[in-house]
Chains A and B, each alone.
Chain A
């Protein structure tokens, strides 16, 4: 009943992505795609804590800014090489995430969201006001491009595209490994009901904290890539609106699935590209879209498709062993689709 086998599907996507620079007409298209990939990495991170673990972190773009400023400050003010600073970016975000996590994860549901919203504001305001460290509203200019590795010249748009793509594929693969492991199941158990999860002997705090740190690690890494790609940083990177953007990517594609956030993060920027008039006012359209999605299509494109497949499979009463295979690109079991 499946359109294509998941592995074939992912390989097809990879081939398309590898071929994209040769199909794209100009560098501008490459820029749009690379930026979309960077945000896709951050969205994959947000999906781990929100889609799989059920905690909506509104400081996510703040952590992306931390990763970006780690690279910006270390390369511009301290002359560190990009690669070294970039390697640190994810860990700095996860390190700060540890301290934010131990405080914020004691709160549940929307209290957690409100708390992280405030944390995000503190990050934004600190970046804006702490001029001696972050250059304030002027921003950090002239961040060096990644240094060449052998024959690879990372000032070329095409090599940059492949660099970003490499990290996107790596992130997706790691995320695939996480959500298919016992750890991923643990996260989903917490999402589906933390009392039940606790009764099963799951240490809530430790697992939520781990999910949170992993999630912001991806965000920090995306921030580091962003710094090396855009090569200019302002406090705006930390703005909560970027978290809202990522939320939309997640919802359009399908929250709590692997493919969904990727699909959303790539398709929505392209849609806005083609509706140029909308650039600035995109939320006049996307705000209501977000509401309609939540009301009528809460599992997004991928989630709805998978649910339908599962229903068909259940109707045909296939042998139970085959049923879990149906959604191997998304490990959420049927009742698991009831996330949040």
Chain B
């Protein structure tokens, strides 16, 4: 039973990180209908930005997180302006290839600056907490708490503020949103900024229990794609639920099936589900 609960906690940790990354991806998809392959590189850029702030500038973890959020939001907005905006009328293939271009550039850039080595990110939360038989590193609890907090914050922002509502409106109907006077450019930039900030913070949360390296975004972004395909592209609740499903599937799969193959589980799940239901689990209509 304790082992089972342990896996539940692990699943929540992974699910939290995946949800944050998938949320950014799904928001951008909702606005632009672009599968942004560069999102994984944004995640990686966040980890490096925080690593730089913590390790080189000697500031504390929270400054690192703030710095990462701001840096990645900037990178994200700049790439929207310079790359996705000029391509908004191009065929989908061009979007994808351009986003791959950004991804390759950011990864090679990080490697040119910091080298190919793995880096360890310091965290002030090294303690191991125990609650009757359950052991839990504090950092993992922080991930769960912070992910929950950010998801709630995002929900409130989208539902309760006018600015948030413009994002939802644009995702629902681009022309309709433009007709009622919503500035598409502003909303697109805002969405990219939020997506970037979420990816950056997710990276800073997860990096201390993982490591910082240039290809750290690969698996995370691919899983985030799996999540938003399962949850319905553009759907916010879908990204959260999908993130938790994949997080739990991996935590339990690693424990009950095999650690070696845990990374395959998410992909195998996608292949299985799309083979049976090409339209995804929760999505309406065919892709």
**Interface positions of A (Cβ within 8 A of B):** 50, 54, 56, 103, 106-111, 113-115, 117-119, 121-122, 125-126, 129, 240-241, 244, 247, 251, 280-284, 286-291, 294-295, 298, 338-340
Tell me which residues across on chain A come within 8 A of B219, comparing CB atoms.
Answer: 121
The one of B105, B225, B263, B274 that contacts A287, using a Cβ cutoff of 8 Å: B105
CB distance from B155 to the nearest CB of A (A): 25
User: Would you call the interface of chain A mostly helix, strand, loop, or mixed?
Assistant: helix
Contact of B83 among A113, A281, A291 (CB under 8 A): A291
Told that A121-B222, A288-B105 touch, could you supply 5 new A-B pairs with CB distance under 8 A?
A: A106-B278, A113-B35, A122-B264, A288-B101, A339-B93
Cβ contact within 8 Å between A282 and B261:
no
Q: Within 8 Å CB of B87, what residues of A?
A: 294-295
State whether the Cβ of B86 lies closer than 8 Å to any Cβ in chain A. yes
Residues of B within 8 A of A (CB): 35, 82-83, 86-87, 90-94, 96-98, 100-109, 111-112, 116, 218-219, 222, 225-226, 229, 260-261, 263-264, 267-268, 270-271, 274-275, 278, 286-287
Cβ–Cβ < 8 Å partners of A117 in chain B: 222, 225
- Rounded to whole Å, the gap between the CB of A311 and the closest CB of chain B is 20
Chain B residue at smallest Cβ distance from A129: B260
User: What are 26 A-to-B residue pairs whose CB atoms are below 8 Å?
Assistant: A54-B93, A56-B93, A106-B278, A107-B274, A108-B286, A114-B225, A118-B271, A121-B222, A125-B267, A244-B100, A247-B97, A281-B108, A284-B112, A286-B104, A287-B101, A287-B102, A287-B103, A288-B101, A289-B101, A290-B97, A290-B100, A290-B101, A294-B90, A295-B86, A339-B93, A340-B93
Interface pair B222/A118, CB less than 8 Å apart: yes
Task: Report yes or no: B267 in contact with A287, Cβ–Cβ below 8 A.
Answer: no
Nearest-CB distance from B271 to chain A (Å)?
7
Q: Which 6 A-B pairs have the closest CB atoms?
A: A287-B105, A290-B101, A340-B93, A283-B108, A283-B104, A287-B104
Is the Cβ of B98 less than 8 Å from the Cβ of A282?
no
Most A-side CB within 10 Å, residue of B104, B229, B286: B104
Residues of A within 8 A of B278 (CB): 106-107
Cβ–Cβ contact A287 & B271, under 8 A: no
Q: Which residue of B lies closest to A136 (CB)?
A: B260
Alpha-carbon distance A283/B112, docked complex (angstroms): 10
Query: Chain B residues with Cβ under 8 A from A339's Cβ?
Result: 91, 93
CB distance from B81 to the nearest CB of A (A): 12
Give Cα A117 to B229, complex, Å: 12
> In the bound complex, how far is the Cα of B275 from the Cα of A103, in angstroms?
6
- A294, B35: Cβ atoms closer than 8 Å: no
CA distance A84 to B76 in the complex (A): 50
Nearest residue (CB) in A for B258 is A129
How many angstroms between the C-alpha atoms of A221 and B83 in the bound complex?
Answer: 36
CB distance from A215 to the nearest CB of B (A): 15
A66 CB → nearest B CB, Å: 16
Q: Is the CB of B108 within 8 A of A284?
A: yes
Given contacts A114-B229, A115-B270, contact A340 B92 (CB under 8 A): yes
Please, how many angstroms separate the alpha-carbon atoms of A339 and B90 in the complex?
11
Q: Once the chains bind, are B287 and A107 in contact (CB under 8 Å)?
A: yes
* A251–B93 CA distance with the chains assembled, in angstroms: 11
B229 partner, pick from A106, A111, A280, beta carbons under 8 A: A111
Verify A282–B108 contact, CB threshold 8 A. yes
Chain B min CB distance to A132 (Å) = 12
Q: A291 near B222 (CB under 8 angstroms)? A: no
Most chain B beta carbons < 10 A, residue from A115, A126, A282:
A115
Q: Which residue of A lies closest to B41 (CB)?
A: A287
Let me know if A294 and B274 touch, CB within 8 A.
no
Bound Cα distance from A295 to B103, whole angstroms: 16
A115 lies within 8 A of B112 (CB): no
Complex Cα spacing A111 to B283, Å: 13
B264 pairs with A126, CB closer than 8 A? yes
Closest to A338 in B: B91
In the bound complex, CA of A283 to CA of B215 (Å): 14
- Residues of chain A lying within 8 A (CB to CB) of residue B226: 114, 118
Instruction: Say yes or no: B111 contacts A298, CB within 8 Å.
Output: no
Instruction: Using A113-B96, A290-B98, A340-B91 as known contacts, say yes or no to A119 and B271 having CB atoms under 8 A apart.
Output: yes
In the bound complex, do residue B94 and residue A298 qualify as a contact, i.e. CB atoms below 8 Å apart?
Answer: yes
Q: Which residues of A contact B111 (CB under 8 A)?
A: 280-281
Cβ contact within 8 Å between B105 and A284: yes
- Count chain B CB atoms within 10 A of each CB in A110, A115, A281, A340 and give the residue with the most: A110
Candidates A118, A244, A286, A294; contact of B225 at CB < 8 Å: A118
CB neighbours of B104 from chain A (8 A): 241, 244, 283, 286-287, 290
Chain A residues near B109 (CB-CB < 8 A): 281, 284
C-alpha spacing A270/B106, complex, angstroms: 23
> Taking the nearest CB of chain B, how far is it from the CB of A334, in angstroms?
16
Task: Verify A129–B261 contact, CB threshold 8 A.
Answer: yes
Residues on B with C-beta less than 8 A from A56 are: 93, 96-97
Taken together as a complex, chains A and B put the C-alpha atoms of A287 and B108 apart, in Å, by 9
The residue from B91, B108, B267 contacting A118, defined by CB atoms under 8 A apart = B267
